[in-house]
A = this chain, B = another copy of it.
Amino acid sequence: MINTLRVVTLIVNNQKDLYTIAELADMVGGEVIGDLDLEIRGAAGVKEAGRKQITFAENEKVLRLAEESEAAAIIVAQNITGCKKTIIRVKNPRLAYAIVSSLFVPDVFYKSGRAPSAVISESAEIGQNVSIHPMVVIEDDVVIGDNSILAPGVFVGKGSRIGSNTIIHPNVVIEYNSIIGSNVIIHGGTVIGSDGYGFVSTEEGHYKIPQTGNVIIEDDVEIGANVTIDRGTSGPTVIGKGTKIDNLVQIGHNVRIGPECLIIAQVGIAGSTELGKRVVLAGKTGVVGHIKIADNTTVAAMSTVTKSIPPASFYSGNPAQSHKDELKEQAALRKLPLLIKTIKEMEKRIRILESELQNESQNFNN
């Protein structure tokens, strides 16, 4: 089993321009077959890998492509025995590739110190090695942990806290009192802590219910671009540890998302709904408010979840139901136009039967 924490430490401490295959194999717990001293300067997919780069192959078909590619070496599964090129054999090639590839990611946002144009409150507590880019605004009483990066145009509202090793991409808005953990990544244009959508409708109009809660984003969360996560009405909206959120997702006030969930692009989750651990919501799915989706449940793309879902379910449709039932309905629906013809014919046959039987009966009675 790969110890991810050890790997991350290795990466942070060791980042350099080239590695030998032996060094890479050691990091991912793999075995080299071929030239141990081969030098690797990058990692790329099988279509893009160049002469000094390593790629990976999860199956025989991709392995053949990788052998024909320019790649210097290939990460493969343990059952692969022979290859024209130097290989690293590992339990999980995709994971090993992800780790090796991490070594070569350009560190484009790290710049030590504070840009002169950044506006930083005197009451803010900024950790060691924090990188504060131009046009950043940090308000009163903000606390930022070591090694975190605030890219250009980021706003951090009053009283917010950001952990260590967190990267906030350009033009992200973090409203007041937000709490953001360590090793978090937030992509460009995302808004954390906008007011929840809460109004009391009266005859005079819709009166705003103040939204005085906040947003808590736990460690190891990644959030895509132009996402919106509303603050709680009172109490927090929570994104659990290790959850990964894609672009243009909407999270309503007081939603609680468990650890390690996967929330794909353009999903929307309405207020006060709770997601358990490792819930997967595929693209564009909508979830109504005040329900619970239990651990390990997956909901297919473009579904509408209107009531709570038990653990380890696979749901789909609008309104969402067990995927098995949804598929049955879809299949039945596909047959429906033909079915209507069949029914019309059956009705005709019944009419004929009825009239024949009547005749028969009359014949008999005559």
Listed in ascending order, the chain A residues whose CB lies under 8 Å from chain B are 2, 4, 43-45, 47-49, 92, 94-95, 97-99, 101-102, 104-106, 108, 115, 117, 119, 133-135, 137, 139, 151-153, 155, 157-158, 169-171, 173, 175-176, 185, 187-191, 194-195, 197, 199-202, 204-210, 212-213, 220, 222, 224-228, 230, 233-235, 242, 244, 246-248, 250, 252, 260, 262, 264-266, 268, 270, 283-284, 286, 288, 301-302, 304, 318-319, 328-337, 339-340, 342-343, 346-347, 349-350, 353-354, 356-357, 360-361, 363-364
In contact, A99 and B207 (Cβ under 8 angstroms) = yes
Question: Which of A102, A248, A262, A349 has its CB near the most chain B CB atoms (within 10 A)?
Answer: A248
How far, in angstroms, from A361 to B360 measured CA to CA in the complex? 7
Given A102-B208, A364-B360: A283 and B268 interface contact (C-beta under 8 Å): yes
In contact, B197 and A244 (Cβ under 8 angstroms) = yes
In contact, A304 and B301 (Cβ under 8 angstroms) = yes
Residue of B nearest to A140 (CB): B108
In contact, A235 and B173 (Cβ under 8 angstroms) = no
Having A170-B175, A226-B226, A265-B268, one finds 20 other A-B pairs with CB under 8 Å, namely A95-B202, A95-B207, A98-B207, A101-B209, A102-B208, A108-B158, A115-B119, A151-B155, A152-B155, A171-B189, A191-B225, A194-B225, A194-B247, A199-B262, A205-B260, A266-B268, A284-B284, A302-B318, A333-B333, A346-B347
In contact, B350 and A346 (Cβ under 8 angstroms) = yes
Please list 20 pairs of residues, one from A and one from B, whose beta carbons are closer than 8 Å in the complex, sorted by A's number.
A43-B234, A49-B234, A94-B209, A104-B212, A106-B158, A106-B212, A133-B137, A151-B155, A170-B175, A171-B189, A173-B189, A189-B190, A228-B248, A246-B250, A283-B286, A283-B288, A284-B284, A331-B337, A342-B343, A353-B354
In the complex, chain B residues whose CB is within 8 Å of the CB of A260? 205-206
In the complex, chain B residues whose CB is within 8 Å of the CB of A346? 343, 346-347, 350
How far, in angstroms, from A227 to B247 measured CA to CA in the complex? 9
Q: What distance in Å separates the Cβ of A94 from its nearest Cβ neighbour in chain B?
A: 5
Interchain CB contact (< 8 A) of A106 among B176, B207, B302, B339: B176
Q: What distance in Å separates the Cβ of A128 from its nearest Cβ neighbour in chain B?
A: 24
Interchain CB contact (< 8 A) of A191 among B4, B173, B226: B226
In the complex, chain B residues whose CB is within 8 Å of the CB of A361? 356, 360
Given A188-B173, A197-B265: A235 and B286 interface contact (C-beta under 8 Å): no
Interchain CB contact (< 8 A) of A173 among B45, B115, B170: B170
